[in-house]
Chains A and B, each alone.
Chain A
Amino acid sequence: MKPKSIAVVGAAETTKLGKIPDLSVIGLHADAALNAMADAGLKPSDIDGVATAGESPTAIAHYLGITPTWVDGTSVGGCSFMLHVRHAAAAINEGLCNTVLITHGESGRSRVGAFRPPRAPSSLIGQFEIPYGITTPPTQFTIPALRYMKTYGVTEADLAMVAVVQREWAAKNPRASFKDPLSVEDVLNSEMIAYPFRKLMCCLVTDGGGALILTRAERARDFPRKPVYILGSGESVETPMISQMEDFTTSRAFRVSGKKAFDEAGIRHADVDHLMIYDAFAHLPIYGLEDLGFVGRGEAAAFIGERNTAIGGKLPLNTNGGGLSYMHSGMYGMYALQESVRQLRGIAPAQVPGAKISVCHGVGGMFAASGTIIFTNEG
């Protein structure tokens, strides 16, 4: 992709976040989409591209009254929206459409209009993982962590520190689900969910949605908000089965997606002012910092423990509080993207002063997929 050729001109979350029993899944998509269109000063008739995951782009386009010339229903888990941004940028540059709406909505907590298809017992997961007792992500995503911890001497207290630092960021955010201060002891005394993971090392389960609107950079200055440009992007997938991840101490999908995005953006790690790493569980920022190349192998837990990613640190990370404290509907990637855009618009509740480059890194499934978007506010 040509850096800075595409810009985000509309970005918004649902009016409410957290517990939204009065909206169904498609209603959450629509609420976020209407807010993003209002943010950009656009009407459905101005949109000619639709991308979404969780719902079909057909359902979203029809519900909102959009007649698209391009759709993308890529659904690879919580980072699907990073992939949508990347695909939309390519589609706009190719002339397939001009203005793309990307929507997310999920009734993760209230489960209004939510449907989770059962996994077939004939699928590979159904044959070779489900019989051994896996259930929700806390019983799958967490499995590699003990191997990482043994390899690098990382402790449960180190994992707890990830949640503690992110709670400090969340405390500055009025829309965060959890804002009360948290100590390492609090985390280590919380309920054991899947050893070594305790409840406060696991993400929230909430309701919400978000939407983005993208168009060509040369049009972006005509919109009401400060444009945020796409500087680089990457994506990859590894395996749908956590047991078949090639190395439990590092994610191949993270490495491939991150390198692609950095190469495309032509930036060095020292150029990055702000970072989002999808944190469904406390070990993910650790893997992300290493697999994106911000620190060396085995160094990420100490890097976080030394407060480099905390308020006032040199690499502000998950400044909305993350999936651990801000919100997590199920496919959190959209909220990471929203926070990157807010930071580069200069309107984030915990604003990083003068932030110019934000890296937004997502995961899908259980280390199954990855998408990375690098944004800048300098056109």
Chain B
Amino acid sequence: MTRLLPEPTPETRSFWEGCQAGELRLQRCADCAHSYFPPRPFCPKCASRNVEVFPASGAATLYSYIINHRPRPDVSAEPHAIAVVTLAEGPRMMTNIVGCPQTPEALVLDMPLRVTFEKQSDEITLPFFTPVKG
């Protein structure tokens, strides 16, 4: 069963193309240097249209999450975390945490994470995050 997948729009296409290329692309204002997400063709802090796309480091920490015990069948048969992570560059994004048990013991707030990409379809690759080992 395929996940419910995003339908990119002109304003977000750079992000989804980045995921296909194995890059987590954020945007940054060339005038006020504010980094932001989700994508839009202007700075949400100063309204400048002078913005650029840049590859984020992929480093993040776990900000908060729930473990969904009534998972959507297209996502998982087992309870799984729906998390919000804080990227090293500042913005936050929703994601899933992969490569570790989906338990409160394994999912510790502020733990360091790194982005990992999983292809879902010809057009969509989703960014997930996984604990940084050691």
Contacts and interface: CB of A to CB of B under 8 A. Distances in A.
Given A128-B94, A143-B65, A197-B66, A243 B8 contact: no
Interface stretch (B22-30, B49-57, B72-80): B72-80
Contacts of A45: none
B72 to A, nearest CB: 5
B93 A128 contact: yes
A122 B5 CA distance: 9
A248 B63 contact: yes
Interface residues of B, number: 37
Contact of A147 (B63, B67, B124): B63
B109 to A, nearest CB: 5
Interface in A166-221: 191-197
Given A147-B63, A194-B68, A124 B96 contact: no
A69 interface: no
Contact of B84 (A120, A138, A139, A143): A143
Q: Is the interface of A mostly helix, strand, loop or mixed?
A: mixed
Contact of B82 (A127, A134, A197, A248): A134
Contacts of A121: 4-7
Contacts of B67: 192, 194-195
Nearest to A192: B69
A128 B8 CA distance: 10
A139 to B, nearest CB: 5
Contact of B126 (A131, A135, A147): A131
Interface string A137-175: 011001111110010000000000000000000000000
A143 B64 contact: yes
B92 A243 contact: yes
A135 B68 contact: yes
B65 A131 contact: no
Interface string A230-265: 000000000001111000100000000000000000
B94 A243 contact: yes
B69 A133 contact: no
Contact of A132 (B38, B69, B95, B109): B95
A41 interface: no
Contacts of B71: 133
Interface of B: 3-9, 12, 16, 38, 63-72, 75-76, 79-80, 82-84, 92-96, 104, 109, 120, 124, 126
A-B pairs with lowest CB-CB distance, top 4: A127-B6, A195-B67, A133-B75, A147-B64
24 contacts: A121-B5, A122-B6, A126-B4, A126-B6, A127-B6, A127-B16, A128-B94, A131-B6, A132-B75, A132-B83, A132-B126, A133-B75, A135-B72, A139-B66, A143-B64, A143-B66, A143-B83, A146-B64, A147-B63, A147-B109, A192-B79, A195-B79, A196-B104, A243-B92
